[in-house]
């Protein structure tokens, strides 16, 4: 059961990164567009799906709370401040998304809130991933670090890399969903964003392998782990070919492949540790009865329902976003 719930957590995190990543990326790109018609088209491209994408973040927190309470406790203690900032940013982003529809004189204020919320939430998520990958000071199952222990040069690099990556995902989504001037804008900025993302991934990978001896040992002992960076390199190279072919959906799919490879490399570096080299899956799991009880609620009902809802939502709103509509 523990392996099943780890799989659920991994799927939920992956779905959140891929789906909420592109709509946060559209919010980041919002800062580079200044005329209302193009901004309206960008919002129309994400308005049917953006709110549902955040369900996966809730799913991740719920499963960690029930199945791995020690991890939930340590992560919440270590990242209490950044989590509060991230949630406030997501709330600000959502409020700005709704209020700008009705604003007359303060539309610029809500546009700024939408951009700021998107950038800040993304950067904080990247910093948290970087700090977790570096390892958290844990003693007797409790976090013993400082309030700002999560803020390091490595975590800042991860935050900047994720911001660039989400922006690339957002550009790829706009290429897929939009036409005309918005698509032209997205095609123009997408290659630069992908190059920045790939450079950031290379720097993060190199720094992690060079500075962390256990990670270096893992990558040296099992060469199959290099499949992940190799696939990411091939996918990034294929994007140049696709750019010439003008195949609108392929940039999105290949960018998602790059993200999947990044997640795969992260898991391969630390498995079976949930908090790297401090808390393992075996030491973090709830009692068997609790895991079994959760299975009939979340495992049989909530998780498949969320997957089904997401699939139906994207099928219903498939295709190009051609007609401007009120949200």
Please report, for the chain, the start and end positions of each structural domain, with discontinuous segments joined by +: 2-316
Is the pLDDT confidence value at 259 over 70? yes
Is the pLDDT confidence value at 324 over 70? no
* Residue reference for tokens 């009902």: 301
pLDDT value of residue 250:
86
Q: How confident is the model at residue 242 (pLDDT cuts 50, 70, 90)?
A: low
Q: How confident is the model at residue 246 (pLDDT cuts 50, 70, 90)?
A: low
pLDDT value of residue 321:
77
Is the pLDDT confidence value at 164 over 90? yes
Are 180 and 38 contacting, i.e. CB atoms less than 8 angstroms apart?
Answer: no
Q: How confident is the model at residue 243 (pLDDT cuts 50, 70, 90)?
A: low
Read off the pLDDT of each residue in 263-270 and give the average, rounded to a whole number: 86
Is the pLDDT confidence value at 313 over 80? yes
Read off the pLDDT of each residue in 299-317 and give the average, rounded to a whole number: 90
What integer best gives the mean pLDDT of the chain? 86
pLDDT value of residue 128:
92
Are 68 and 284 contacting, i.e. CB atoms less than 8 angstroms apart?
Answer: yes
Q: Which residues contact 310 (CB under 8 A, 6 or more apart)?
A: 15, 19, 52, 55
Beta-bridge partners for 275: 279
Are 172 and 45 contacting, i.e. CB atoms less than 8 angstroms apart?
Answer: no
Q: Which of 262, 209, 199 is nearest to 232 (CA)?
A: 262
Are 251 and 176 contacting, i.e. CB atoms less than 8 angstroms apart?
Answer: yes
Q: How confident is the model at residue 105 (pLDDT cuts 50, 70, 90)?
A: confident
pLDDT value of residue 159:
93
Give 84's Cβ-side CA count (13 Å radius): 5
Instruction: Extract the tokens encoding 194.
Output: 């992908």
Is the pLDDT confidence value at 27 over 80? yes
CA distance 90 to 327: 18
Q: Model pTM?
A: 0.91
Does domain 2-316 fall under CATH 1.20.1630? My reply is yes
Of 18-22, 101-105, 139-143, 166-170, minimum mean pLDDT range = 101-105
Q: How confident is the model at residue 180 (pLDDT cuts 50, 70, 90)?
A: confident
Q: What is the largest CA-CA distance in the chain?
A: 61
Are 157 and 131 contacting, i.e. CB atoms less than 8 angstroms apart?
Answer: no
Which of 79-83, 196-200, 224-228, 266-270: highest mean pLDDT? 79-83
């Amino acid at each position: 059961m523990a392996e099943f719930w780890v799989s659920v957590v991994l799927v939920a995190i992956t779905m959140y990164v891929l789906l909420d990543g592109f709509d946060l990326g559209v919010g980041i790109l919002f800062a580079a567009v200044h005329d209302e018609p193009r901004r309206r088209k960008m919002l129309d491209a994400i308005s049917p799906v953006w709110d549902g994408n955040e369900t996966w973040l809730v799913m991740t927190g719920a499963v960690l709370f029930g199945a791995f309470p020690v991890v939930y406790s340590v992560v919440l203690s270590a990242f209490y401040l950044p989590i509060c900032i991230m949630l406030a940013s997501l709330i600000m982003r959502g409020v700005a998304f709704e209020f700008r529809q009705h604003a007359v004189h303060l539309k610029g204020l809500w546009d700024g809130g939408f951009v700021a919320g998107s950038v800040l939430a993304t950067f904080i998520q990247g910093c948290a991933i970087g700090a977790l990958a570096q390892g958290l000071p844990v003693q007797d199952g409790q976090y013993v670090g400082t309030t700002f222990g999560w803020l390091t040069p490595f975590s800042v690099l991860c935050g900047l890399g994720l911001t660039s990556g989400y922006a690339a995902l957002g550009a790829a989504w706009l290429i897929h969903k939009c036409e005309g001037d918005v698509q032209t804008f997205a095609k123009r900025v997408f290659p630069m964003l992908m190059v920045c993302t790939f450079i950031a991934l290379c720097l993060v990978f190199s720094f992690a392998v060079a500075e962390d001896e256990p990670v270096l040992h893992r990558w040296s002992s099992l060469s199959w782990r290099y499949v992940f960076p190799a696939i990411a390199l091939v996918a990034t190279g294929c994007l140049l070919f696709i750019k010439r072919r003008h195949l609108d959906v392929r940039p999105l799919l290949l960018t998602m492949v790059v993200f999947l490879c990044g997640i795969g490399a992260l898991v391969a570096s630390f498995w079976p540790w949930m908090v790297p080299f401090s808390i393992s899956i075996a030491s973090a799991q709830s009692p068997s009865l609790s895991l079994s009880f959760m299975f009939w609620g979340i495992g049989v009902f909530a998780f498949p329902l969320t997957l089904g809802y997401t699939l139906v939502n994207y099928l219903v709103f498939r295709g190009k976003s051609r007609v401007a509509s009120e949200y």
